[in-house]
Amino acid sequence: MIFLLLSILSSSAIYVVFKLLDKFRVNSLYAIVVNYFTACVAGYLGFERDFSINDTLAQNWIFGAILLGVLFIVVFNLMAITTQKSGLSVVSVASKMSVALPILFVIFYYNEPTGLLKIFGIVLALIAVYLSSVKKKKGIQLEKNTLIYPLLVFLGSGVIETLIKFLEQNYVAKEDVALFSASIFVCAATIGCVAAVIQFNKTKIKFTYKEIIGGIALGIPNYYSVYFFILALRGDMPSTTVFILNNVAIVLLSTFIGILLFKEKLLRKNWIGIALAIVSIILVAFTTR
């Protein structure tokens, strides 16, 4: 439970940092690149054994880590495009509702048992995520020519969590969790550098100290959100419970942080979503026992 709590706190801290990056007009791509390098350093400091590049490349999980690194960058850019074309609410709904994919994977691939009450809690949680994330009275509005972007965000986010579960369950040894997590960020940082160079050549936007500070502030919780999430999946709770509690609790905590720190206003549907989220957490948590 402690690792799940730490994962939730780390992920919620990412939300706070992103809000501050926007407030201080920090170039998000540059900060993201610094964030990945910071995450690499955080992972290195957490290594539980000696390692070498050749040893790392020989690990069974290395290609999965590389794929995750690529997905991190691709999904981030898809989220940016979706925000521009359809709005922040659409991105939030698409990314959070994607928890349905790893849940279905765990239920069918690992035959994890689920009762009717727990299934009801999962469905309730998905409804809660939607209602909590939509910040417009009319709900989310999609156009046919831009529908592909939130769909790709949904699929990409779901594949990331599903792949993390698959790799940690089948290939990653306990002492390699930090190395595995850091390897993901190494790949993401490499691709991010290429993207940053391309953006600089096009826009000539300079790299400043603000991107360094913002990237460091983002990288530390970003690394630990993945690290603690993997450890939470290895705990005593069923994976479906971990996925639901992690995602729903992040939505709840991020919402309350938004109200307290950034004076965000909520619609009636958002409050309904919060209430349903609390009920879903109780249902899913208690049906685990």
Mean pLDDT on 16-24: 86
Q: What is the pLDDT of residues 32-65, one digit of tens each?
A: 889 999 999 998 888 877 878 888 999 999 999 9
Q: What is the pLDDT of residues 83-108, one digit of tens each?
A: 777 776 777 888 888 999 999 999 99
pLDDT band at 21 (very low <50, low <70, confident <90, very high): confident
> What share of the chain has pLDDT > 90, as a percent?
53
Q: Please check the confidence at residue 141 and state whether its pLDDT lies above 80.
A: no
- Spatial separation of the C-alpha atoms in residues 266 and 174, rounded to whole Å: 42
Mean pLDDT on 260-275: 89
Identify the residue whose tokens are 């698409």: 94
Phi, psi of 271 (to 5 degrees): -65, -35
Listed residue (158, 191, 184, 161) closest to 61, CA to CA: 184
pTM of the full structure: 0.90
Q: Please check the confidence at residue 10 and state whether its pLDDT lies above 80.
A: yes
pLDDT at 178: 92
Average pLDDT, the chain: 89
Q: Please check the confidence at residue 144 and state whether its pLDDT lies above 80.
A: no
pLDDT band at 140 (very low <50, low <70, confident <90, very high): low
For 173-217, give the DSSP string: -GGGHHHHHHHHHHHHHHHHHHHHHHHHHHH-PPP-HHHHHHHHH
- Please name the residues in contact with 157: beta carbons below 8 A apart, sequence gap of 6 or more: 75, 94, 95, 98
Q: What is the pLDDT of residues 232-258, one digit of tens each?
A: 999 989 999 999 999 999 989 988 998
